[in-house]
Structure 1
């Protein structure tokens, strides 16, 4: 059994996925075609099943199965005997992973050159970060994005040969086997923060913000108190999403933004949210287009 064969790939993927999960990355098994390795439990269900993202408790929901729990990860790989790799979910947690996929497999397309040109055009430097080589000759760059920023998957939006993996997407983990080869680390270092100038290019096209809604004194105060309470009552795993939503709503009231942001950050921190991550989430909401705050 060798690491370069489908038989040996399962064990390699299993071990690498557990190592990534131990570092805080949400992982799940994928097959030789880089797609989820577990069939959907709803494949024979009637209408409505596609909306399930794992609430049913059964495996087979793709990236929504991704976990850092070693016991749950064992269960997923047990249900995926033909897995040859693993995916790493993007956009999760207080320091969400965002992936920049630099394509070189199409003639005349060079994602590496496109990123260098983009950096020069917008005045930013691509920081040293985790880099993974793909079997097709491309590169995956890992970044940490601000929590709550609505970065979605895209292909060629930034520039030719540059794809983005955001919330709802995933990166193929290093050590994964495909018929074309194995994904391997080029630079094994901590993921760097996404350059500030690069984030706006990844977000949806901005729309004009609605005019501030000025609420009379007592009602306005009650509304802000309600938003803080909304954050304090966040269910497990939803704290950052609630913080982002509450900040968006609060900034629309026209009340002093610094005071609002501080109150919401303090509410999140009181529940264990890292202060710096909470501040980044609130800052993202403060400048987000209206549509992304909805």
Structure 2
């Protein structure tokens, strides 16, 4: 059972057909149909514009299984992608593997670490990370059942590994058959049973003691190089731009863009038109590891922040 929801019924995939309790069910090819498909199986959904919640919506906070609400959303935004909140709303905790940022190399390293740990414990080797898996635009989502304890929050560079993020409490993932910005569709690679979050991974989490929540609207500490920000700095948009650039790295660029947009509106008191040049500057200057951060993504963050804070 998922924590906080009913069990998802999908067990196996054959082409685009799902074998469910002995019956073949066609997996939907549109996001609207998929939203109903997930909702009927106890998984709350909400619409996203690419990867970002639509303006004047509350994102994963509004996720629902209510058919009337879902129908209204997709009448308003027929091209919307579909997303599912992670953590307690769905009972899912997800390892997000980003192939653009060495995620597959990190995944191989993580698998090797886990196998060495099994040897240390004198346990027979097994596929610790075997679970339901989705292809994303540039990587994989490994979907696990959330543990009862501890509550796992969203984090980047899971246990210090580049290209692997954890989506837990306070997060969400875009799910098949959504369209990735690179033109590829998300698709289920495996409808294997959803495995419990591995205890060996929980051991790694406890050892590192570095888990912390990353919410888009969470503030950052004001301490910078040994001092607190002066009140005058809080109204200076250039200050917030530099703070975001200092904090951003591969794997956190989108979160930091959301944070910057919120700070420009909430602290610097800018209008969206006034804030736009700073988001464009952020997109141009943020480290990319060889991959540019799209200006369109930064401006979507600004639209979302304005809708939430105005």
- Normalising by structure 2, we get a TM-score of 0.50
> Shift in Å at residue 121 of structure 1?
4.2
| 1:1-56 residue CA offsets vs partner (Å, 9 max, x unmatched) | xxxxxxxxx98111112111212211111122x111x212xxxxxxxxxxxxxxxx
Provide the C-alpha distance between the structure 1 equivalents of 2:40 and 2:205, rounded to a whole number of angstroms. 28
Query: After superposition, where does 1:106-145 map in structure 2 within 5 Å?
Result: 106=101, 110-123=105-118, 125-136=127-138, 138-145=139-146
1:162 to 139, 143, 164: 164
> 1:79–1:65: structure 2 CA closer, same or farther, 3 Å change rule?
farther
> 1:125–1:182: structure 2 CA closer, same or farther, 3 Å change rule?
same
> 1:118–1:70: structure 2 CA closer, same or farther, 3 Å change rule?
farther
Contact 1:91 1:166 in 2 (8 A): yes
**SS of alignment partner, residue 166 of structure 2:** strand
> 1:69–1:202: structure 2 CA closer, same or farther, 3 Å change rule?
farther
1:74 aligns with 2:77: no
> 1:107–1:171: structure 2 CA closer, same or farther, 3 Å change rule?
closer
1:29 aligns with 2:42: no
Q: How many residues align?
A: 174
Match of 2:82 in 1: 86
Contact 1:17 1:173 in 2 (8 A): no
Point out where structure 1 has 5 or more consecutive residues left out of the alignment: 1-9, 41-59, 207-294
**SS of alignment partner, residue 99 of structure 2:** coil
Provide the C-alpha distance between the structure 2 equivalents of 1:92 and 1:114, rounded to a whole number of angstroms. 29
Q: CA RMSD in A?
A: 2.7
> 1:147–1:77: structure 2 CA closer, same or farther, 3 Å change rule?
farther
Provide the C-alpha distance between the structure 2 equivalents of 1:99 and 1:116, rounded to a whole number of angstroms. 16
Query: After superposition, where does 1:152-191 map in structure 2 within 5 Å?
Result: 152-158=153-159, 159-180=161-182, 181-191=184-194
Provide the C-alpha distance between the structure 1 equivalents of 2:209 and 2:112, rounded to a whole number of angstroms. 21
Contact 1:109 1:160 in 2 (8 A): no
| 1:120-170 residue CA offsets vs partner (Å, 9 max, x unmatched) | 24337424311101121x111000012363211111132222110001111
Match of 2:228 in 1: none
Contact 2:88 2:146 in 1 (8 A): no
1:39 to 24, 35, 55: 55
> 1:71–1:111: structure 2 CA closer, same or farther, 3 Å change rule?
farther
Could you list the structure 1 runs, at least 4 aligned residues long, displaced by more than 3 angstroms after superposition. 200-204
Query: After superposition, where does 1:227-242 map in structure 2 within 5 Å?
Result: none
Provide the C-alpha distance between the structure 2 equivalents of 1:108 and 1:191, rounded to a whole number of angstroms. 21
**SS of alignment partner, residue 126 of structure 1:** coil
- Normalising by structure 1, we get a TM-score of 0.53
